[in-house]
C-alpha cells in the first residue's frame, strides 16, 4: 500500500535521533585507566591486569562453554554470579559445583527464557538485587539448526534467530539499562561464531549462520551507542568445540571433515575459549570495544 499524503509529510519532517559519543576525559565514563600501582610487585601487577571485578550474568551458563567461562570469571576475582538457563536440574547441579569451589562468592541460578522480554527484565532486576550490581554479561545461550534451506520451515528459521539474535539483544538491553542506572559501566560479550564469518561445510545451517552474523553486527551497533555509558560490547567467535552439540555417531563424519580442514587438526576444548572471555571482561580489555575475537584454531582461514 502506498503511503498517504500525511505519512509522506511526516516522513519528510522527521528528526533523526543521533548517537552521542563519550568525551573520553576524566569526567566521562571512558576515562583512561589509572596506572597499576608501582608499590605492587610484577606478579601482583600481572594479577591486577586480568582481574575481573564485580558480578556477572552468564546466559546458557549450564552449557559446556558457558560454564567454563563462568568458572574462569570466578577464578579471576568475580564476586557474584547468576546463571541464566532453561534447564533447572542441570543448572542447579552446576551452581552447587561452583559453590563448593568458590565458597566466598555469591552464586545463583534463574530459569529465564531469553526470548521473553518481560522474563528477561525481571531476571536481570532480581539478579541485580541479589548481587548488588551487574558488571559483566556473557551471552552463551543459543541453539543450532542444520536444515537444507529449501526445506526449512518458517518456524525453524524464526526459532533460531529468536533465541540466538533477539534473545541476546533482549538480555544485553536489560543489562545495559541496569549498568546505566548503576553509573558504573561494564562489559557485555556476545557469543558469535565462525559461522557468522564463513559458510560452514559440510552441514547446511543458513539460519544459524545468519543469526551469528547478525550478532556481530548487533555488537557493532551497541558498542557505538553504549560507549558513552562506559559499557563495552564485544564478541567472541568460537570454532567447532568439543561439546554435547557435536557428539554422537551421527556427526562423526562431520567431525572428521572439520578437523581435516583446520590447520590445528582438531576441535577446540571449552577451556580454550576462556582466555578471550577474561581479556574482554577484565581490566586488560578496557580499550577493547566493538571487537570480535575469533578462537577457532585457524578454521576460517580457508
pLDDT tens for residues 58-74? 999 999 999 999 999 99
State residue 136 phi and psi, 5-degree precision. Answer: -140, 135
**Is residue 119 domain-resident?**
yes
Q: Is 287 considered catalytic here?
A: no
Q: CA 217 from chain center: how many Å?
A: 13
Res 3: pLDDT = 76
Q: Is 237 considered catalytic here?
A: no
pLDDT tens for residues 164-212? 999 999 999 999 999 999 999 999 999 999 999 999 999 999 999 999 9
DSSP secondary structure string, 174-186?
HHHHHHHHHT--E
Provide, rounded to the nearest whole percent, the portion of the chain with pLDDT above 70.
Answer: 98
Tell me the HSE value of 187 on the side-chain side, using a 13 A CA sphere.
Answer: 29
C-alpha grid cell for residue 39?
A: 608499590
Res 175: pLDDT = 98
pLDDT at 245 exceeding the cut of 70: no
**Is residue 103 domain-resident?**
yes
Look up the CATH number of the domain holding residue 126: 3.40.50.720
pLDDT range class, residue 280, cuts 50, 70, 90: very high
**Is residue 69 domain-resident?**
yes
Work out the mean pLDDT of the chain and round it to a whole number.
94
pLDDT at 247 exceeding the cut of 80: no
pLDDT tens for residues 127-166? 999 999 999 999 999 999 999 999 999 999 999 999 999 9
**Is residue 4 domain-resident?**
no
Mean pLDDT over 6-10 rounds to 81
Tell me the HSE value of 231 on the side-chain side, using a 13 A CA sphere.
Answer: 28
Q: Which residues contact 27 (CB under 8 A, 6 or more apart)?
A: none
Q: Is 201 considered catalytic here?
A: no
Res 89: pLDDT = 87
pLDDT at 19 exceeding the cut of 80: yes
Q: For residues 240 and 262, what is the distance between their CA atoms, to the nearest angstrom?
A: 10
Identify the domain containing residue 220 by its residue range: 41-241+270-296
**Is residue 223 domain-resident?**
yes
Give yes or no for a cis peptide into 202 (omega within 30° of 0). yes
pLDDT tens for residues 97-126? 999 999 999 999 999 999 999 999 999 999
Which is the catalytic residue, given 193, 195, 211, 237?
193
Q: How far apart are the first and last CA of the chain?
A: 46
Q: For residues 55 and 80, what is the distance between their CA atoms, to the nearest angstrom?
A: 4
Q: For residues 154 and 176, what is the distance between their CA atoms, to the nearest angstrom?
A: 31
Integer CA distances (angstroms), 267 to 72, 224, 241, 260, 300, in order: 20, 33, 5, 10, 13
Nearest to 237 by CA among 200, 197, 284: 197
Integer CA distances (angstroms), 42 to 45, 75, 131, 278, 279, in order: 5, 19, 32, 19, 19
pLDDT range class, residue 4, cuts 50, 70, 90: confident
Contact 119, 112 (CB under 8 A): yes
pLDDT at 14 exceeding the cut of 90: no
pLDDT at 76 exceeding the cut of 70: yes
Q: For residues 266 and 270, what is the distance between their CA atoms, to the nearest angstrom?
A: 13
Burial of 143 (0-12, 13-18, 19+ CB in 10 A): middle
Instruction: Tell me the whole-structure pTM to 2 decimals.
Output: 0.94
pLDDT tens for residues 78-91? 999 999 999 898 89
C-alpha grid cell for residue 202?
A: 559440510
Which is the catalytic residue, given 64, 94, 110, 208?
208
Domain count, the chain: 1
pLDDT at 258 exceeding the cut of 80: yes
Pick 7 or 147 by higher pLDDT: 147
Res 10: pLDDT = 81
**Is residue 157 domain-resident?**
yes
**Is residue 100 domain-resident?**
yes
Res 61: pLDDT = 93
pLDDT at 293 exceeding the cut of 70: yes
Which is the catalytic residue, given 212, 219, 237, 282?
212
**Is residue 204 domain-resident?**
yes
What are the DSSP E strand ranges found in the chain?
Answer: 55-59, 80-85, 106-111, 136-139, 186-191, 231-238, 292-295
Res 1: pLDDT = 67
Mean pLDDT over 222-240 rounds to 98
Amino acid at each position: 500500500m502506498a503511503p498517504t499524503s500525511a505519512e509522506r509529510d511526516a516522513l519528510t519532517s522527521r528528526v533523526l535521533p543521533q548517537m552521542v559519543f563519550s568525551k573520553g576525559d576524566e569526567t566521562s565514563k571512558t576515562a583512561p585507566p589509572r596506572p597499576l600501582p608501582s608499590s605492587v610487585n610484577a606478579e601482583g601487577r600481572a594479577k591486577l591486569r586480568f582481574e575481573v571485578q564485580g558480578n556477572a550474568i552468564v546466559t546458557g551458563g549450564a552449557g559446556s562453554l558457558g560454564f567454563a567461562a563462568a568458572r574462569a570469571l570466578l577464578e579471576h576475582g568475580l564476586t557474584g554470579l547468576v546463571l541464566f538457563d532453561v534447564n533447572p536440574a542441570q543448572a542447579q547441579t552446576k551452581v552447587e559445583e561452583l559453590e563448593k569451589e568458590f565458597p566466598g562468592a555469591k552464586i545463583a541460578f534463574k530459569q529465564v527464557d531469553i526470548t521473553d522480554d518481560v522474563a528477561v527484565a525481571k531476571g536481570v532486576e532480581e539478579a541485580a538485587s541479589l548481587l548488588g550490581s551487574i558488571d559483566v554479561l556473557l551471552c552463551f545461550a543459543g541453539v543450532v539448526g542444520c536444515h537444507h534451506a529449501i526445506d526449512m520451515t518458517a518456524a525453524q528459521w524464526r526459532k533460531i534467530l529468536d533465541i540466538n539474535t533477539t534473545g541476546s539483544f533482549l538480555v544485553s538491553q536489560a543489562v545495559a539499562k541496569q549498568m546505566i542506572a548503576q553509573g558504573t559501566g561494564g562489559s557485555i560479550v556476545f557469543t558469535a561464531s565462525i559461522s557468522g564469518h564463513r559458510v560452514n561445510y559440510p552441514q547446511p545451517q543458513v539460519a544459524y549462520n545468519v543469526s551469528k552474523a547478525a550478532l556481530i553486527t548487533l555488537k557493532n551497533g551497541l558498542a557505538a551507542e553504549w560507549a558513552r555509558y562506559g559499557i563495552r560490547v564485544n564478541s567472541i567467535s568460537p570454532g567447532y568445540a568439543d561439546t554435547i552439540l557435536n557428539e554422537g555417531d551421527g556427526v562423526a563424519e562431520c567431525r572428521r571433515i572439520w578437523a581435516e580442514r583446520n590447520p590445528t587438526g582438531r576441535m577446540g576444548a571449552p577451556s580454550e575459549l576462556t582466555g578471550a572471555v577474561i581479556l574482554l571482561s577484565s581490566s586488560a580489555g578496557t580499550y577493547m570495544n566493538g571487537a570480535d575475537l575469533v578462537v577457532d584454531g585457524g578454521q576460517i582461514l580457508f
